[in-house]
Structure 1
Amino acid sequence: MTPGLALMLGGLALIDSTSFGTLLIPVWLLLTPGRLRAGRVAVYLGTVAAFYFCVGVLLTLGADAALLAARALVADVPATTLKIGQLALGVAVIAASYWLEARARRQEGEPGKVQRWRVKAMTGSGSTGALMSLALLAALLEVATMLPYLAAVGLIADADLGWQLSGVTIAGYCLVMTLPAIVLAVARLAAHRRVEPLLQKINDWLTRNTARVLGWTVGGIGIAITLNAVARLLLEP
């Protein structure tokens, strides 16, 4: 594990920590009136972290085989063609970021399972099973669009860390993903009245800007891929 890889993974994990499932729903739970039921927050965050850990392990197990197959497939492809393909991929990701943002904006305010389970979670009327279902639903809805997480899994697989270190790294990534919500939960327990205005501001900001953050995140990855392809086309022989 190099310092550069650790830094990149930490940055990607912090981006993922601001998503709908890892921060907005926990903030909803923390805004529940009255005494905070810390166990409910722990169940929710534990379920989200466990889900992403399992997905990361499964993806890493398949990534090695996929990388070997991809390398064998493109072994005879000219380097220039690969660079142009990377450029096209980057442009496609940028275009997808606008589509994802527009879709997220269209879905804002629509009633659905997440909104109904949110009410149960905030009022405490839902069971532990319902809370875990809420966590799994949020994670399932987001996992396909959480490109920072998928990119991180790709970096871990490509680094050839070995199974044990890869597992520890994925677990650490999932911990960092949930760390802001954990910090806010501890602060809510320690200083309810002083922290509640901050939680409300975070909730308001995330509610207004979730779609935009999704678009920026995906678009930023597309720009990075595109710029790298352009640099390779211009600078590499």
Structure 2
Amino acid sequence: MSIELLLSIGGLALLDTLSPATIGVTVYLLLTETKHLASRLLIYLLTVAGFYFSVGVMLMLGMGVLLESVASLFQSRVVSWVIFIIGVGLFIASFYTPQKGERELPRPKSKSRFSMVALGFTTALVEVGTAFPYFAAIGLMTTADLIPYQWLPVMAGYNFIMVLPPLILYLLYLLFGRMMHRPLEQLQMRIAKSSGSALSWVLCIVGLILIYNSLDYL
């Protein structure tokens, strides 16, 4: 496994930390939850990360079986051109993503532990359809022909990085208590208003990574 591959996947994981839904729900819980905050936030984040990890494992196993029969296909000029065109398309689409307008973020109807699990699944389902960095990372690991003991820890690390910002926010909340309320409220407003901008940057960078990794076989 090359350092270049790890850096690419690490960069994509950092992009996934921009998820407005996960951070938005975390901020909402920090502002409104007074009892059992730690357990409910942990349940929520474990559900999101567990869902993403499970989807990633299924995709890696499915793609691995497919690659056994058509391994050379992913190194062909035709497929490289398809990946290159997809990358160019994402790059161009990033300039046309709406930048303004508030987005309604998922919020729990109640704060029971079951509700946190349900909210975690809801958040994951909402975000997974547009999880371009995650799918790009899976594609990079697949084309690198990694074996399970190589890609499993990489994928686990990816999902840990993805939920790291909410954990950092929680630690800051523990350290500073009510002093964090005003910054959290400002962050909540900014997330609602800037989700389009974050998606634009994600599309742009994922597009460039796909373009870069397809150039060798064009």
Query: Smaller-chain TM-score range?
Result: 0.7 to 0.9
Correspondence for 1:88 among 85, 88, 101: 85
Q: CA deviation at 1:51?
A: 0.6
Q: Does 1:127 align with 2:112?
A: yes
Instruction: State TM-score, norm by structure 2.
Output: 0.83
> RMSD of the TM alignment (CA)?
3.0
Q: CA deviation at 1:69?
A: 4.9
Q: Does 1:192 align with 2:177?
A: yes
SS at match of 1:219: helix
Q: Report the AA paired with residue 103 of structure 2.
A: E
Q: Does 1:25 align with 2:10?
A: no
The answer to whether the 8 A contact 1:36-1:189 is kept is no
Per-residue CA deviation, residues 103-160 of structure 1 (Å, 9 max, x unaligned), is x967834xxxx64xx153xxxx332112211111111111121111111112223333
Q: Report the AA paired with residue 172 of structure 2.
A: A
Q: Aligned partners of 2:138 and 2:83: how far apart in 1?
A: 19
Q: Aligned partners of 1:227 and 1:161: how far apart in 2?
A: 19
Q: Report the AA paired with residue 93 of structure 1.
A: L
The answer to whether the 8 A contact 2:74-2:143 is kept is no
Q: Report the AA paired with residue 24 of structure 1.
A: G
Structure 1 residue runs of 5 or longer lacking an equivalent are none
Provide closer, same or farther for how the CA distance between residues 223 and 14 of structure 1 changes in structure 2, counting only shifts above 3 A: closer
Count of residues paired in the alignment: 218
Q: CA deviation at 1:34?
A: 4.1
Q: Aligned partners of 2:213 and 2:2: how far apart in 1?
A: 21
Number of the residue aligned with 2:103: 108
Number of the residue aligned with 1:157: 142
Q: Report the AA paired with residue 149 of structure 1.
A: Y
Per-residue CA deviation, residues 53-95 of structure 1 (Å, 9 max, x unaligned), is 11111111012233345545578x7x4x556544432333235
The answer to whether the 8 A contact 1:30-1:188 is kept is yes
Q: CA deviation at 1:32?
A: 1.4
SS at match of 1:161: coil
Q: Aligned partners of 1:140 and 1:175: how far apart in 2?
A: 18
The answer to whether the 8 A contact 1:16-1:22 is kept is no
Structure 2 residue runs of 5 or longer lacking an equivalent are none
Q: Report the AA paired with residue 195 of structure 1.
A: M
SS at match of 2:163: helix
Q: Aligned partners of 1:145 and 1:65: how far apart in 2?
A: 24
Bigger-Rg structure (1/2): 1
